[in-house]
Amino acid sequence: MHEDSHGHSVAAWVGVGIMLVASVIGSWGVVFSPDWLLYVGLALGVVGALAWYLLDRAGMGDPHQHADEH
């Protein structure tokens, strides 16, 4: 039986949380037109993806995924 965790890990929650905030900030930048706000949102999106990847590599990701790699 194959079980999917569907992203229920610290790495996924932190990454998606940061990217959610980034999308709200970036959307405000598009709607209200301050360019710097759009760029802050885009940069935070990259930070969220990087945080997700680094936390996953640090062992806070899906434990079933890493068990299959060994």
- Tell whether 3 is covered by a domain: no
Count: domains in the chain: 1
Q: Is residue 16 part of a domain?
A: yes
Q: Is residue 65 part of a domain?
A: no
Residue 69, domain member (yes or no): no
Does some domain include residue 66?
no
Helix/strand/coil (H/E/C) assignment for every residue in the chain: CCCCCCCCCHHHHHHHHHHHHHHHHHHHHHHHCCHHHHHHHHHHHHHHHHHHHHHHHHHHCCHHHHHHHC
- What pLDDT, in 10s, does the model give residues 25-61? 999 999 998 999 999 999 999 999 999 999 999 988 8
Domain that holds residue 39: 10-60
Average pLDDT (58-66) is 76
What pLDDT score does 18 carry? 97
Binned at pLDDT 50, 70 and 90, residue 22 comes out as very high
Q: Distance between CA 57 and CA 26 in Å, rounded?
A: 27
pLDDT at 67 over 60: no
Residue 24 belongs to some domain of the structure: yes
